[in-house]
Amino acid sequence: MPAARHRQNHLTQNKMKLTKLIFPFALLLSLATAGTAAESEATALYQDLGQPVDKRVADLISRLTLEEKAMLLNHKGTTVERFKIRADQWNQCLNGVKWDLPTTFFPTCIAMAATWDTGLVRDEIATVLSDEARAIYNGWHLDPKARGEHKGLIYRAPVINIERNPYWGRNHEAWGEDPFLTGRMAVAYVQGLQGNDPRYLKIAATLKHYAVNNVEVDRQKLNANVSERMLREYWLPHFRDAVVEGKACSLMASYNAINGTPNNINRWLLTDLLKNEWKHEGFVVSDLGGVRSMVEGHHKKQMTYVDAVAQSVMAGCDFSDKEYQENIPAAVREGKLTEARLDDALTRVLRVRMRLGEFDPFDAVPFSKISPAVVNSAAHRAVALKTARESIVLLQNRDHFLPLDKAQLKRIAVIGPLADRVITNNYFGALPETVSALQGIKNRAAPGTEVRFAAGGLIGGETGGEWKKEAAEAAALDPALGCGDRLRRHIRRRGARGARPQITRTNGHAGGARQSRVRRQSTDCGGADERRAADGSVAGEKHPRDAPGMVAGRRRWPRNRRCPVRRGESSRPSAAHGLCIRSASAAAG
């Protein structure tokens, strides 16, 4: 027993000596490893401003786990804490930076198009918008507790859909029905947003909605049958201009399908044409809920979310919602999505974010010097006022009737359902003050001038017998035009047929609502005929007339009939009687 105890004590002493020798070595090794890791992280290639952007992006991607990659492809995903990379937090700025505080509010894009001035759009309008977008970003970087939403630098504008459908309800967001004009305006707008710095983007522009999208009703399951010739000659030239010439950073895939294939998984649209033919180096993002709407709309829940995400990424949709974060790892593990294509999608997104300066020191980016004080400044509001004035197009000034001498006006009748309303859209900041047409006329009229108002009709899907009252009030305010009794009879006749009339007047001709007529027409300049309504929708689609915000069309009084007037009275307004002003109902959009 003593011998055994002696051997045990000897062994214990040897272990203690060995521990004393190993512990300092292990400690030194641990410190050395930690130091090497810290040194490696501090000098990581993706943080080296001297390296090309693509090398920096590749280095960052090589450090990410599969789950982290999926997180970065969700535009409002979880922050990747290991690298302190927060989600994109995109924003809107179509005719004003969307924010919970006031920003400069511009006329809508259809009004910008009416200026016919690409220099104004690029050098003033879009430059103001991007200045304010950067200023908001700079504000919360300089002060993490700054008030207002803390938005990112990827902006979902401009909307460049062709306005072929007058019932779309969003025509105020785009630039008209002409692809050439839309393309010129889109290039100018994108260049103004993104800036001209050779290294950094000011903000990143996103073209919406790609493509053949101008119907709101059932848009998550709508299918547009269009020939490739019609696509290339009418529906896509302006997108090509904004990508090839304007260098737009991203495009949004619209909800609809083209020729049976939802745009979210349309490889020809997103990859073959956009990325291979047009050489687009940026990314494609789905519309909000694009994967979900495809599963529940086009595929009627017969497609799993893993399959939907895999097919979307493989087709060329690089960026999306929570469905990407939740389903990309499973799609890769099940062999439905290749890591090569996943890394390509991530490369496209991170390349843009790196060019925005998100991974560089704040002061290294020249746009970091834009002060938050420029937001909604007097200088910027002056540009908005200039744009509004430039957007007004005077088509005719018969007998030099204008300008009016307000000192000679005794009465002004303002007629129209939008006269005392300010119609806005969803893409601007908080509005501190608005002035309707009626209020503006009252503000500018000479003291003592009587300004009277009547709605004259209803818009936006309003129904019921109220229109008769509005029309009667409008006719009562119309003695100068002498149309009272016969205009009332015209309204009653149309009302008896069930129409909801809109009372308008253009150059002395009164007209009401009309029903859409379906006609035969070739949609590919000599190719297969399609049944298409006068509003541009393909036969078989649900007609969008009854969608919220839609308005009826207008027509002139027939050429062979004069506007009804009383004998001995002129149909031209007279300053002696008063000025009759009508707001155009079609502006409701």
Percent share of the chain, pLDDT over 90: 60
Distance CA 273, CA 77 (A): 29
Instruction: Return d(Cα 317, Cα 349) in angstroms, integer.
Output: 11
Q: What local confidence, expressed as pLDDT, does residue 96 receive?
A: 95
507/431 Cα distance (integer angstroms): 34
pLDDT reported for residue 29: 45
Q: Could you give the angle at the alpha carbon of 21 between the alpha carbons of 16 and 26, nearest 5°? A: 115
Reported confidence tier of residue 464, pLDDT bands at 50, 70, 90 = low
Residue 6 — very low, low, confident or very high, per pLDDT cuts 50/70/90? low
Whether 571 shows a pLDDT value over 50: the answer reads no
* Active-site residue, selected from the candidate residues 88, 131, 241, 287: 287
Is a pLDDT exceeding 60 seen at residue 578? no
In the predicted structure, residue 36 carries a pLDDT above the cut 60: no
pLDDT of residue 459: 73
pLDDT band at 293; cut points 50, 70, 90: confident
> How does residue 301 score in pLDDT terms, banded at 50, 70 and 90?
confident
Predicted confidence at residue 294, as pLDDT, reads: 86
> Given a cut of 70, is residue 181 above it in pLDDT?
yes
Match 């909801």 to its residue by tokens. Answer: 500
Query: What digits encode the pLDDT tens for the residues 406-424?
Result: 999 999 999 998 899 887 8
E strands of 408-567, at which residues? 411-415, 450-454, 504-506, 509-511, 518-522, 529-533
> How far apart are alpha carbons 443 and 399 in whole angstroms?
27
Which tops the pLDDT comparison, 255 or 31? 255
User: CA 362 to CA 280: how far, in whole Å?
Assistant: 28
Active site residue 287: yes
Q: What is the pLDDT of residues 326-382, one digit of tens each?
A: 999 999 999 999 999 999 999 999 999 999 999 999 999 999 999 999 999 999 999
Q: Name the residue with higher pLDDT: 144 or 503.
A: 144
Query: For 318-332, what is the mean pLDDT?
Result: 97
Q: Compute CA 436 distance to the chain's CA centroid, rounded to the nearest angstrom.
A: 25
Bridge partners (DSSP) listed for residue 258: 224, 261
> Which tops the pLDDT comparison, 34 or 548?
34
Whole-number Å distance between alpha carbons of 50 and 70: 28
E strand map for 235-369:
250-253, 257-258, 261-262, 283-286
Cis, bond preceding 548 (omega within 30 deg of 0) = no
List pLDDT tens digits, range 534-570: 334 343 333 333 333 333 333 333 444 443 333 333 3
Burial 302-327 (b: 16+ CB within 10 A, else e): ebebbbbbbbbbbbbbbbbbebbbbb
Mean of pLDDT over the chain = 79
- Does residue 380 have a cis bond before it (omega within 30 degrees)? no
Contacts of residue 377, defined as CB under 8 A and 6 or more positions apart, other chains included, come to 104
- Does residue 131 carry a pLDDT above 90? yes
Q: Cα(first)–Cα(last) distance of the chain, in Å?
A: 102
Would you state the pLDDT for residue 531?
A: 35
